[in-house]
Amino acid sequence: MSNHIVESLRKEIEDFKIETKTEKVGKVLELFDGIAKVSGLSDIKSSEMVTFPNGETGVVLNLEEDAVGVIILGDFSKIKEGDEVNATGKILEIQVSDSILGRVVNAIGAPIDGKGAIKAGKTYPIEKVAPGVVTRQSVSEPVATGIKAIDAIIPIGRGQRELIIGDRQTGKTALAIDAILNQKGQNMICIYVSIGQKDSKLRKLAARLDSGGAMDYTVIVSAGASEAAAMSYIAPYSGVAIAEYFMDQGKDVLIIYDDLSKHAVAYREISLLLRRPPGREAYPGDVFYLHSRLLERACRRNQKYGGGSITALPIIETQAGDISAYIPTNVISITDGQIFLETDLFYKGIRPAVNVGSSVSRVGSSAQIKAMKKVAGTLKLDLAQFRELEAFSQFGSDLDDATKRQLERGKRSVEVLKQLQYAPVKTEHQVVTFYALTKGFMDDVPVEKIKEFEAGLIDYSERNAKVFYKDIKETKMWTDKGEEQLKKVITDFKMSFSK
């Protein structure tokens, strides 16, 4: 046994070739809060990796006349003034391979879940120019999030960038987690990038994904609240580099950045320490580019260039619902739509607390299957009218029948869109529910019994509308025959339900 070990080590040592070449070396002049000012290092490139004597890596961000500004990725407490810094000649990169799936890694791709080393594969640069126009294709395939309010009203397509925005404690992360949980069997790789979050929250989230069987197709990239700002700054870029690795294999990837407000704060901290001039809200001038270059890397590539897509769901936390602050407006303008979550709705018990009026998906119904388009087409308008009438009806009780009907329908729509956390609904079940709602089958069901009706209907229809389900699952089409069967099944169920 020991001979075998010695033999394998001998072979490895034999394979090792020492390359002797001149290296660029600098010296640490100043060190403060994860930032080092280094002299020397002439000819170094921006974003180039440097190494410190204790093995830590740094990235060059500022190139000045006589010195360079380096952000240190990792423990900077052991670095001293006068330490030697070696240039590597490489732009910051991350190790990626298929075995990264199911793992929790830090911002530089090192595992932090205690499950051992990740088998090395390819290296991918963290900063990369987004795919060009010729390689892209328009978004047309849906991402089924399993959240009724989103799939029906604000559909998300593969390759889209949809912002989740709202105050603290409004269910932003929950929405993203539900979307990941619903990707089981949907041929989607998920990447959750946690930026500046509490480790306890991450632990809970990983356990939840694990118990839901979602870790098999998920990677968590984490830059915790206790880590240096530099790690938070590069975490989303590392996440998208992992996503690109899978997209290059023609796979569809869903990436969640939780959240970009903390990312911007981390970048502001680094910029101020590097003495870059502050602008609005003390953010540096290139904070828009910080997010635009990240989100532009989400795309749907055409078949000629290998297919595959990256769908991005960035999260932004607002303060007291102020979506006109600097970072929210930036990210709203970059993304292809936003899902707006409201505290008032949350406390009214409307969960997910999606404000349907302020939320929008610029890709629209092209990211919906035909059946969903057919049943949910009028839902957004109905709800908008309901909100208006609801406000108006508070002034008087004398309402005509049509208005009353609309109000009643609206109440039922709101009830149908309510959903428990971690309970994503399959697309075909959503279609059945929305069909029953929009065709008026729920109009005479009491509002408090809507949830019961919905659950019963799904169960009953699954057993009795096999043709309809087959059509939806296999062809994703809406056929007259299927509709007839569904109509009959709903009528039958309603009779038994009212008894």
Partner 1 sequence: MSKISPKNIAEAIYKATEGKSGVVLAEILHRGAQMIQNKRMIGKSDEILKTLQNIQDIETGTVRAKVTTAKKISHEERNKIEHEVKEKYKGKSVVSEFFEKEELLGGMRVEVGDEVLDTSYKSALMKLKDFLIQAK
Active site residues: 362
Quote the Cα angle for 73-218-221, to 5°: 10
Q: How many residues bind partner 1 (CB under 8 A)?
A: 20
Q: Which is nearer to partner 1, 18 or 391 (CB)?
A: 18
Q: Mask of contacts with partner 1, 373-392, x by CB under 8 A?
A: --------------------
Minimum distance of partner 1 from residue 93's CB (angstroms)? 14
Return the beta strands (E) in 176-278 as ranges.
188-195, 218-223, 252-258
Please report whether residue 24 would count as binding partner 1 according to CB under 8 A: yes
End-to-end CA distance of the chain: 76
**14 contacts partner 1 (rule: CB under 8 A):** no
**Contact call for residues 340 and 364 (beta carbons, < 8 A):** no
Which CB sits closer to partner 1, 37 or 300? 37
CB nearer to partner 1: pick between 118 and 345: 118
In the complex, minimum distance from the CB of residue 124 to partner 1, in angstroms, rounded to a whole number:
17
Alpha-carbon torsion (156, 159, 165, 169), positive or negative: positive
Interface of this chain with partner 1, residues 120 to 149, rule: CB under 8 A? 120
CB-CB contact of 301 with 131 (8 Å): yes
Q: Does 18 engage in binding with partner 1 (CB under 8 A)? A: yes
Which of 21, 304, 463, 499 forms a contact with partner 1 (CB under 8 A)?
21
Residue 25 vs residues 52, 229, 354, 446: alpha-carbon distances, Å: 10, 25, 54, 76
- In angstroms, rounded to a whole number, what is the distance separating the alpha carbons of residues 325 and 319? 9
Residue 220 region by backbone torsions, left for phi larger than 0, else alpha for psi between -120 and 50, else beta: beta
Q: Which of 2, 4, 12, 480 binds partner 1 (CB under 8 A)?
A: 12
Alpha-carbon distance of 473 to 488, in angstroms, equals 20
Query: Based on CB atoms, which residue is closest to partner 1, 11 or 203?
Result: 11
Q: For residues 331-350, which are near partner 1 according to CB under 8 A?
A: none
Query: Binding string, 52-91, against partner 1, x = CB under 8 A?
Result: -------------xx-------------------------
Q: How far is the CB of 54 from partner 1 (least distance, A)?
A: 12
| Residue 497: both structure tokens together | 């339900």
**Stretch touching partner 1 by CB under 8 A, among 23-31, 100-108, 178-186, 415-423:** 23-31
Structure tokens belonging to residue 68:
């360079």
361 is written with which tokens? 């998906």
Q: How far apart are CA 315 and CA 172, in angstroms?
A: 7
Out of 7, 10, 25, 319, the only residue in the binding site for partner 1 (CB under 8 A) is 25
Interaction residues for partner 1, span 398-437 (CB under 8 A)? none
Q: How many CB atoms lie within 10 A of CB 437?
A: 26
Query: Rounded to whole angstroms, how far apart are CA atoms 308 and 462?
Result: 32
What residue type is assigned to position 311 of the chain?
Answer: T
To partner 1, the closest distance from the beta carbon of 86 in angstroms equals 8
Residue 13 engages partner 1 in binding (rule: CB under 8 A): yes
Assess 42 for contact with partner 1 (CB under 8 A): yes
Rg (CA), the chain: 26
What's the angle, vertex CA 131, arms to CA 127 and CA 132, rounded to 5? 130
Q: Interacting stretch for partner 1, rule CB under 8 A, among 24-32, 331-339, 345-353, 413-421?
A: 24-32
User: In whole angstroms, how close is the CB of 58 to partner 1 at the nearest point?
Assistant: 16
Nearer Cβ to partner 1, position 120 or 282? 120
Strand ranges inside 196-345, DSSP E: 218-223, 252-258, 309-317, 337-341
Both structure tokens of 326: 């600097």
Report in angstroms how near the CB of residue 108 gets to partner 1 at its nearest: 14
Q: Which is nearer to partner 1, 18 or 134 (CB)?
A: 18
The answer to whether 397 contacts partner 1 (rule: CB under 8 A) is no
110 touching partner 1, by CB under 8 A? no
Could you list the residues that contact partner 1 (CB under 8 A)? 9, 12-13, 16, 18, 20-26, 39-42, 65-66, 117, 120
